[in-house]
């Protein structure tokens, strides 16, 4: 698949998972639901790799890297985000998680030595402003939520930072020629096992919700939200870098809102439409090659090319 197809697939699937996650909240503890989700995804991916005769034998260093990727990206990140979603609206969660764009820029510089591209940073700022405008009514009502909002904010920021570290580890893994499918298969399995261990230590019950909504949402989140979307997204991380790929986090909340408009009577306002326009402008900017931006800003550069 080309980059555009990978990007659109990621955005469209993750835009719909916000609704699916709400069906996971209830009888089963969020931590246990996360473990179920990624355990199922890991098993299915392992079977898929085995059927395609993909390499499944790796050294201990590679397993350690996949373990780190799994725990940050498929374990802690989702557990903390589920806890955040229990306390505040999904719109505010989307705004908090959008900060992953900045964190990926920073962590890419700190851990991978990648230069900070100013047009990527500018696009991130434009996109964050757009997302804030889209969800402004929920942001304006934060004070009415009491002190619990600060707990939710801390949980959301911690989840976002874990996701960013997981992105960076995945990028590093691909540089070490660890294939995305196998890294996800082992990573999701490791993440699920770690969350099961934590749940056991916390004394949580490993019960199961037999409602059709819970089972259907679990299957959707495992197959589409985990296996397919993460395979597409992390491939983009390897090709484009974690900073550019993570801009998808600003687009899939917009998809979620449109789904809400269709099924939950969400009403677009002039402010949210303006915010959407800013998000799209930032998306165009972040996906435009640096050389093209420099050429547009300084057309005379083309005239300075040396003669043959």
Q: Which pLDDT score is estimated for 144?
A: 45
Q: Which pLDDT score is estimated for 39?
A: 97
Which residues constitute the domain of residue 129?
3-297
**303 in a structural domain:** no
CA torsion angle 243 247 249 253 (round to 10): 170
**307 in a structural domain:** no
Q: Which pLDDT score is estimated for 294?
A: 66
**304 in a structural domain:** no
- What are the CA-CA distances from residue 100 to residues 14, 156, 195, 266 (Å)? 15, 11, 22, 26
Q: Which pLDDT score is estimated for 13?
A: 93
> Per-residue pLDDT tens for 86-127?
787 766 787 788 889 999 999 999 999 888 888 889 998 999
Regions of the chain short of the pLDDT cut 70: 90-91, 141-147, 264-265, 293-294, 296-308
Q: Which pLDDT score is estimated for 218?
A: 96
**305 in a structural domain:** no
**308 in a structural domain:** no
Percent helix, percent strand, percent coil in the chain, to nearest 5 = 80, 0, 20
Contact 245, 174 (CB under 8 A): no
**302 in a structural domain:** no
C-alpha–C-alpha distance, residues 276 and 129, integer Å: 10
**306 in a structural domain:** no
**153 in a structural domain:** yes
Domain count along the chain: 1
């Amino acid at each position: 698949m080309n980059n555009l197809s990978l990007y659109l697939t990621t955005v469209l699937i993750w835009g719909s998972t916000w609704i699916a996650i709400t069906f996971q909240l209830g009888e089963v503890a969020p931590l246990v639901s996360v473990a179920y989700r990624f355990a199922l995804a890991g098993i299915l991916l392992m079977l898929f790799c085995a059927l395609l005769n993909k390499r499944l034998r790796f050294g201990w260093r590679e397993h350690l890297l996949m373990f780190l990727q799994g725990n940050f990206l498929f374990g802690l990140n989702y557990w903390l985000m589920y806890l955040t979603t229990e306390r505040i609206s999904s719109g505010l969660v989307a705004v908090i998680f959008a900060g992953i764009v900045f964190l990926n820029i920073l962590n890419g510089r700190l851990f991978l030595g990648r230069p900070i591209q100013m047009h990527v940073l500018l696009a991130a700022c434009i996109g964050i402003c757009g997302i804030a405008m889209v969800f402004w009514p929920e942001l304006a009502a934060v004070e009415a939520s009491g002190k619990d909002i600060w707990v939710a904010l801390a949980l959301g920021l911690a989840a976002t930072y874990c996701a960013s570290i997981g992105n960076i580890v995945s990028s590093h893994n691909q540089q070490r020629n660890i294939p995305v499918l196998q890294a996800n298969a082992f990573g999701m399995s490791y993440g699920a096992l770690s969350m099961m261990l934590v749940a056991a230590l916390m004394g949580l019950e490993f019960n199961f919700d037999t409602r059709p909504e819970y089972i259907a949402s679990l299957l959707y989140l495992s197959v589409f939200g985990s296996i397919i979307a993460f395979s597409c997204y992390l491939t983009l991380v390897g090709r484009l870098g974690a900073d550019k790929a993570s801009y998808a986090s600003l687009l899939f909340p917009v998809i979620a809102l449109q789904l809400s408009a269709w099924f939950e009577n969400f009403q677009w306002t002039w402010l949210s439409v303006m915010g959407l326009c800013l998000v799209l402008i930032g998306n165009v900017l972040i996906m435009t090659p640096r050389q093209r931006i420099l050429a547009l800003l300084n057309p005379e550069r083309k005239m300075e090319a040396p003669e043959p």
